[in-house]
Structure 1
Amino acid sequence: MKILIVLFLCLNYSVLAQQITIWGKVVDIETNNGLQDANVVVISERTKGTTTDKNGEFKLIADVKASDKLIISYVGFETKSITISELNNISSTPTSDGGVFYRFYLEKKIIPSQTVLVEATVGKQGITPLAFDRIMQKDIEKNYTIYDIPKYLSDLPSTTFYSESGNGIGYNYLSIRGFDQRRITVSINGIPQNDPEDHNVYWLDFPDLLASTELIQVQRGAGSGVFGYPAIGGSINIITSSFSNKTKLELSASYGSYVTRKYSALFSSGLIDNKYSVYAKLGKILRSGYKDKTWVNFNSYYLSAVRYDENFTTQFNFYGGPISDGLGYTGVAKFAVKDKTLRKANYSYWEADLNGYT
């Protein structure tokens, strides 16, 4: 009889609703920052919900059963859905009043307008059988300053670059596993950037694009047909959706060696009416150059607008770079490499006579 009573009590506990307090914080798994205005809803007989405060925290009191679901959602992030019984598996810390404080981590998702574009070409660690690296926006913000994309990517394994001007800005060339960039597929938001005639890539046509980049995937080695015919050496996939959920205005100025200057202005509208977002950036890069007459005067603009709907997303991207620069096609003769003055010369050619090179 005692055994039957215990079983009855356990079954009764799981079926009848009970009032509980769910106290926690919704966090961006990449930045570990709290997400303001995230939606937290308990789906039960009496559905109840709330939103997070400026720190990403919330407190929700509801009558729930073990089988009821807790759903946490935020624009631009994967929705998290768990049952009440699974709360014990969530990261938590005990509070001074004997309660529990939960931490719910959300992952950024690819917006619907880029589902085919991105998921078809971006590999997943431990799943995609390819050698590749993924560079996220937070990594770019830490170590990107002014250089063009080949210079920035040259720190990756089996990736090298060289610059005609010697300063990493202007005409730069990238190689992966020994294959030059004519055998590397480069795409921006799924749009091929290789020239249709010679398959080359002219990186100076989109200066300062890294400042508006969300994700870069660099694949080493031949890929599948989705990357296109030049992808013998590898592929570079650049995604430039750089929306922010918060309104911000940034002005910046930088100065470096060889009279390098960079000026930029950035504006983000944040999320408007939970439906619209606008991002805009203007930039200018000036540099005298390491070699003689290899100056650059790069202007850049980037404008992106997005509308989120229930079943799809509409996005427009406009970017470009009106530029002018000095050329430095000819390399330096071997005898002049160690001469600190002569190696900066920008001659159209070098000649040899009986007395040596001129």
Structure 2
Amino acid sequence: MRSIVLVLLALCLLVPAAFAVTISGTVVDLSTGNPVANASVWVKTINSAATTDSDGTFTIVFVPNGRFEISVSHVGYWSETFTLSTEQKTNFRLEIRPKMYRSEGVTLSIDRVQRESATVPFTNVSAEELSERYYGQDLPVALEGLPSMTTTTDAGSGLGYSYLNMRGFDFKRISVLLNGVMLNDPEDFYVYWVDLADFGANVGDVQVQRGAGSALLGLPSAGGTIDVQTQTYSDKPAISAEYGLGSYNTQRGSVHLASGPIQDRYFMDARFSRITSDGYRDQSWSDYFSYYLSAARVDENMTTRLVLFGGPIKNHMAYYGVSREQLAQDREQNPLTYEDETDNYYQPHYQLHNTWDIADNLRLQNTLYYIRGEGFFNVSYPSWWGYGWDSWGLEDPGVAIGDMVARQHVENHQGGWQPRLTWKLNDHTLDIGGQYISHRSRHYGELIWGAVLPDGTEPNHVWCDYEGRKRIISGYVQDRWKVTPRLYLNGA
């Protein structure tokens, strides 16, 4: 009797084995080909699962011989189900699609140069490379040392008003794009980096193009283009805090929070920073608060991202130069000695980016943005500068004019829309797009103090008041033709 039981037990074990196999495989990222670790692999028919190792490999035993379905899931990737068969092989390569687009897939980057088809010299700076350069200074200072680039700062500490030259051209002739949005002021073409305190901590990568004619968005640039993309999303929740102390009593504190995926679809990111510094020059201190907020929804064929950043800034101005002889006596001197000769400004940015993959070879991108700037700066006017009473809109009281202090107010409103359609057909990549920019500003000055003022002068006498308006409408059509693997033709 015992022999019969043993025989039956052996048959029960051998029969399933004859109709089952052991399968193995590797789970990889479809876009990069890199292995995906810690992915869940599940064969539903036998309710058996495995988790991929660090090299993306897995093994599952007792899988029914023949056709079967296997599912793969991982945070940040679309869950995939594959129908496979063991009739010809038992080792499989499973490719899963990432949910998170890279930053250039979410924001407009028509001006990005590709290495294989570059028509201008360029340099790419990754987030890792930038982190080695960055310690809280203005972004141009962090990029100093790249080919053909030089920077200067008013305060001498890397904070405050910073200026960038490229190939001998000043910053008014360099186009700057931030997530595809023009950063140059439409009125004077300046880029006021001072309003982007601690922004280097939020940068995903930067491409610096040297040469004219490479930018299709923004303003025409003779010197080149700087294309800045902010960071993408974190695939796991995170919180971090930093504090740094440096020369000239410079202090930087920062808190960063990342939600990771919420319901496998939503992502949020936030950073809050405070930077203070006494500056290298006398009375060139800075006091900045900044925030960066990003929220995104990632669907299978569409990504929508909202980006908000800004923060109030205040610093004592140090734009006035000194002679070589004065430098020899005191390199730190600042002729602007009035205690409240300060710049006070707040310029929040609002960006909404949408990317829709209509088909495998057709993508539509849209960006809407709004920039609101408001603030003032105080300027002292010594009597020896030679201003007359008529310069202040005042009647001559018959006495010599004295020192004056004016407050210059600036209000800016700028909004825009940037659509782009990309169509890939065989060896051609066709881009059709454009931009609409509406800019409105008001500038007015108040006389807030005077050593001598005519009788009847009203408090905060307005001595100048004017408005500016500008609209920019442009479009482009660009075709990139891959003639051979090493020959590309670009036409725009």
TM-score normalised by length of structure 2: 0.53
C-alpha separation between the residues in 2 aligned to 1:190 and 1:76?
26
AA at the equivalent of 2:252: K
The aligned counterpart of 1:347 is: 335
**Residues 206 and 226 of structure 2 are in contact (CA less than 8 Å); yes or no, is this contact kept in structure 1?**
yes
SS at match of 1:226: coil
Distance 1:220 1:40, change over 3 A: farther
Aligned to 1:267: 257
Give distance in 2, aligned partners of 1:318 and 1:252. Answer: 21
Corresponding residue to 2:279 among 285, 289, 295 = 289
| CA distance in structure 1 between the partners assigned to 2:123 and 2:72 by the alignment | 32
Distance of aligned partners of 1:168 and 1:304 in 2 relative to their CA distance in 1, 3 Å threshold: same
Q: Find 2:112's aligned residue among 91, 111, 122.
A: 122
Higher strand share: 2
1:214–1:241 contact (8 Å) kept in structure 2: yes
Counterpart residue number, 1:241: 231
Which residue of structure 2 aligns with residue 167 of structure 1?
Answer: 157
Question: Which runs of structure 2 are paired with 1:25-104 in the superposition (5 Å)?
Answer: 36-38=37-39, 52=52, 55=54, 57-61=56-60, 75=76
Q: CA deviation at 1:223?
A: 2.6
- Secondary structure at the residue paired with 1:138? helix
Paired residue type of 1:117: L
Q: Which residues of 2 match residues 141-156 of structure 1 at below 5 A?
A: 141-156=131-146
Q: What amino acid does structure 1 have at the position aligned with 2:25?
A: I
User: Residues 40 and 50 of structure 2 are in contact (CA less than 8 Å); yes or no, is this contact kept in structure 1?
Assistant: yes
Deviation at 1:134, TM superposition (A): 1.0
**2:206 counterpart residue number:** 216
Shift of 1:253: 0.7
Structure 1 pair 267–115 and aligned structure 2 pair: CA distance change class (3 A): closer
The answer to whether the 8 Å contact 1:186/1:193 transfers is yes
State the identity as a percent: 33
Instruction: Measure, in 1, the Cα distance between the counterparts of 2:289 and 2:234.
Output: 23
Contact kept, 8 Å, 2:179 with 2:230, in 1: the verdict is yes
Post-superposition shift, 1:121? 2.0
Aligned to 1:22: 25
Residue 168 of structure 1, CA deviation? 1.1
Pair 1:206-2:196 in alignment: yes
Tell me the secondary structure at the aligned position of residue 216 of structure 2: helix
Cα pair distance change 1:274/1:219, threshold 3 Å: same
Q: Aligned with 2:239: secondary structure?
A: strand
The secondary structure found in structure 2 opposite 1:214 is: strand
Q: Is the 8 A contact 1:183 1:199 kept in 2?
A: yes
Residue 338 of structure 1: how far off its partner (Å): 3.6
SS at 1:263 equivalent: strand
**Residue 166 of structure 1 aligns to a residue in which SS?**
coil
**Which residue identity does 1:59 align to in structure 2?**
F
Once the 2 structures are TM-superposed, how far is the Cα of residue 139 of structure 1 from its aligned partner?
1.6
Question: Is the 1:213–1:242 contact (alpha carbons within 8 Å) kept by the matching residues of 2?
Answer: no
Going from structure 1 to structure 2, the CA distance change for 1:109 and 1:326 (only over 3 Å counts) comes to same
For the structure 1 residues 320 and 112, does the alpha-carbon distance in structure 2 shift closer, same or farther, using more than 3 Å as the test? closer
Of the three residues 298, 312, 319, the one matched with 2:302 is: 312
How far apart are the structure 1 equivalents of 2:299 and 2:104?
A: 10
Q: Deviation at 1:56?
A: 6.2
Cα distance in 2 for residues equivalent to 1:296 and 1:309: 42
Q: TM-score, normalised by structure 1?
A: 0.72
Structure 2 residue aligned with 1:257, among 227, 247, 262?
247
Instruction: Report the residue type matching 2:331 in the other structure.
Output: R
In structure 2, relative to structure 1, the CA distance for the partners of 1:116 and 1:300 (3 Å cut) is closer
Indicate the SS of the match to 1:215. Answer: strand
* Separation in 1, partners of 2:99, 2:123: 18
2:283–2:316 contact (8 Å) kept in structure 1: yes
**Amino acid of the structure 2 residue aligned with 1:75:** G
Q: Which ranges of structure 1 fall in alignment gaps of 5 or more residues?
A: 1-17, 43-47, 85-99, 352-358
The answer (yes or no) to whether the contact 1:113–1:315 under 8 Å persists in 2 is: no
Distance 1:330 1:286 in 2: 21
Q: Root-mean-square deviation (CA), in Å? A: 4.2
1:10: which partner in 2?
Answer: none
> Relative to structure 1, is the Cα distance of residues 132 and 246 closer, same or farther in structure 2, using a 3 angstrom cutoff?
same
> Secondary structure, in 3 states, of the residue corresponding to 2:141?
helix
Change (3 A) 1:307 1:292: same
Secondary structure, aligned partner of 1:335: helix
Q: d(CA) in 1 for partners of 2:230 and 2:57?
A: 32
CA contact (8 A) 2:103 2:230 kept: no
Compared CA separation, residues 24 and 73, structure 1 to 2 (3 A): closer
**Structure 2 portions without partners, runs of 5+:** 1-20, 86-90, 338-383, 385-492
Greater Rg by CA? 2
